[in-house]
């Protein structure tokens, strides 16, 4: 009997590497992948956080490996890919989720210090490139790379310019690598979330937990609410699954209709 459509969304016995997996969207992606059947390798700087997420993955009956490190360090990223394959037996999916800013101070591009520009390029673009390169070295035919972009890449982003520029670069990288890796049977796609109340988002907008219910309408999101980590996880599961086996080079907007 042929697989049902629901079977095609399953990720049974896959092994995913998720960067920035200790909290927020990264944690949501890791949990969503585990619920879909994946074992998960988690990385982030804060060891206590990825250990906590690893425990949640194991509670779902999947294997988990927590490897702390700095994904802006290319040597670490290469060793992460090798360790993931060696200890888990294979890697079928790489999700480059880590990103953000360091001081989270709104600035116009004309006032942007070189250090802030360089930091955001390293974290939000270069780390995605080195992650995709490391993933390409360990993925086999049928593997998938998913880069987490942002809706900010598609429109003017006052006071947040370097982040938007870097994410636009991620979208271009996704398209180019999808073409270059297609002959090897490796798909490369992206997910571009709209506003999700992560720690970085809350600090950037000076918002509190009490503000969250009303922020969606205040920001003009047609569906009236902010995003949730599971909204992004749902898109990642789809793009990683056989249901998306004829989809590559695409960046899927998950933003409540925000423009």
| 163 among known catalytic residues | yes
DSSP result, 159-221: TBHHHHHHHHHHHHHHHHHHHHHGGGT-EEEEEEE-----HHHHHHHT--GGGHHHHHHHTT-
Q: Which position among 9, 94, 163, 238 bears the catalytic label? A: 163
Which of 84, 71, 73, 94 has the alpha carbon at shortest distance from 190?
94
**Cα dihedral sign, 72-74-78-79:** negative
- Give the length of the chain: 259
**Other residues' Cβ atoms within 10 Å of the Cβ of residue 223:** 13
| 77-to-106, 134, 135, 140, 241 alpha-carbon distances in Å | 29, 7, 9, 18, 24
Helical (H) or strand (E) element with 65: strand 64-66
Active site residue ranges? 163
């Amino acid at each position: 009997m042929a697989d049902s459509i629901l079977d095609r969304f399953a990720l049974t016995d896959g092994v995913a590497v998720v960067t920035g997996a200790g909290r927020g969207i990264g944690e949501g992606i890791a949990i969503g992948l585990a619920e879909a059947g994946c074992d998960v390798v988690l990385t982030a700087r804060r060891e206590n956080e990825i250990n906590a997420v690893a425990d949640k993955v194991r509670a779902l009956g999947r294997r988990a490996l927590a490897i702390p490190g700095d994904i802006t360090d290319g040597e670490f990223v290469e060793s992460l890919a090798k360790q993931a394959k060696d200890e888990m037996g294979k890697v079928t999916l790489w999700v480059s989720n880590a990103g953000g800013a360091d001081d989270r101070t709104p600035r116009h591009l004309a006032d942007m210090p070189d250090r802030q520009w360089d930091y955001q390029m390293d974290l939000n673009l270069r780390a995605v490139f080195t992650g995709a390169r490391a993933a390409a070295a360990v993925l086999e035919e049928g593997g998938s790379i998913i880069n987490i972009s942002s809706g900010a890449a598609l429109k003017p982003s006052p006071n947040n310019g370097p982040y938007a520029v870097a994410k636009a670069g991620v979208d271009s990288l996704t398209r180019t690598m999808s073409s270059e890796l297609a002959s090897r049977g490796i798909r490369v796609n992206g997910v571009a979330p709209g506003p999700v109340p992560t720690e970085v988002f809350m600090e950037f907008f000076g918002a509190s937990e009490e503000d969250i219910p009303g922020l969606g309408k205040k920001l003009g999101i047609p569906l009236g609410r902010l995003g949730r980590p599971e909204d992004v996880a749902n898109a990642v599961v789809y793009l990683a699954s056989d249901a998306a086996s004829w989809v590559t080079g695409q960046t899927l907007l998950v933003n409540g209709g925000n423009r």
